[in-house]
Amino acid sequence: MAIDKRYFEIAQKRLSNRRTANKHTEDVRRMEIHQKIPKYSELECRLADTMTKIVASIAAKAPDSKEQIKAAVNSNMEIQREMAELLEQNGFPKDYLSPVYTCQKCKDTGAHDGEWCECFNKVLNNVAAEELNSRSPLQLCSFDSFRLDLYPTTADPVVKVSQRKAMEQNLADCRKFADSFNGRGYGLFMMGNTGLGKTHLSLAVANDLIQKGWCVIYGSVPELLRRLDREQFKNADGDTMALVTDCDLLILDDLGAENSTDRYTALLYEMINARQSRSLPMIINTNLNMDQIKQRYLDRLWSRLFSMNVLIFCGEDNRLKLSN
């Protein structure tokens, strides 16, 4: 993905903040140990003395320097063993005072083996995703604010159970999806008329996963396709396709509201197929029913949609109820 300089600078700043926070954690831990285990400070002084002796023996080049170095090294190892045992005896892990790293692979430098580390690329993608999500209502929805009382207890002819019962199941399925999310799988395909809670539950899943550190991108299908079309066919800056096909979870809202053109259909298929071929999950919402979807899209596209876990949303427009 082409790196926007602004994203790069923000990502670098976040890595710097991460290193600062981890160094603070190290300092707090060391202060805690010195206060609770005075003997540990004594051992640290002895350990420093052995290092001084090793350096002095190497510099002296005396006939017996090898023996002196060996003795100092053995003393050093013994003191380190005592320090580790002392920590354990007082209820701390042996490595409690080891350097703290968020990423063990790159030691929070952002680079490994001459390339950007996976952790830095993830931070970079998160920064880009935040920019793409900046106009979405991601912060407005949660599972707890989903109102089941708006759905009647009368039986629905489509799902054969009460509308409230059907929505209780949809809510449970979305909670389970968020709770068990591991970055793999086809995801959820939500079908139903407008105002029935599809977007609300999608964004509730997004909020839950974002808080857990996953990279989530939300976008309406018409808006995303317009952006992709500008970038791929009109030479606009950006590589949104790479971002939406690489993020941990992609949420496509309002499928079917986009213009029905060959270019848009091709872009939509590219997005969905790229993710499904790599088992990267999506949540896709539509106001269309099954027949309308089959009439609007080619077999190769709608068959991929129905390979997902399909949730049927039923009832009357809740937004109208809330406005009355």
Rounded CA separation 123/111 (Å): 13
Q: What is the pLDDT of residue 323?
A: 52
Residue 58 has pLDDT above 80, yes or no: no
Nearest Cα to 175, choosing from 144, 153, 154, 148? 144
Residue 322 has pLDDT above 70, yes or no: no
Residue spans of beta strands (DSSP E) within 169-223: 187-192, 216-220
Q: Please, what is the average pLDDT of the chain?
A: 86
Got the DSSP string for 12-73?
A: HHHHHHHHHHHHHHHHHHHHHHHHH-HHHHHHHHHHHHHHHHHHHHHHH--TTHHHHHHHHH
Is residue 90 a contact partner of residue 36, using CB atoms and an 8 Å limit? yes
Is residue 29 a contact partner of residue 98, using CB atoms and an 8 Å limit? no
pTM beyond cutoff 0.75: no
Amino acid symbol at 246: D
Q: What is the pLDDT of residue 1?
A: 43
Q: Calculate what percentage of the chain has a pLDDT beyond 70.
A: 92
The number of residues making up the chain comes to: 324
- CB neighbours (10 Å) of residue 154? 9
Q: What is the mean pLDDT of the segment spanning 283-298? A: 93
The residue ranking higher by pLDDT, 2 or 115, is 115
Helix, strand, or coil here: 312?
A: strand
Residue 4 has pLDDT above 70, yes or no: no
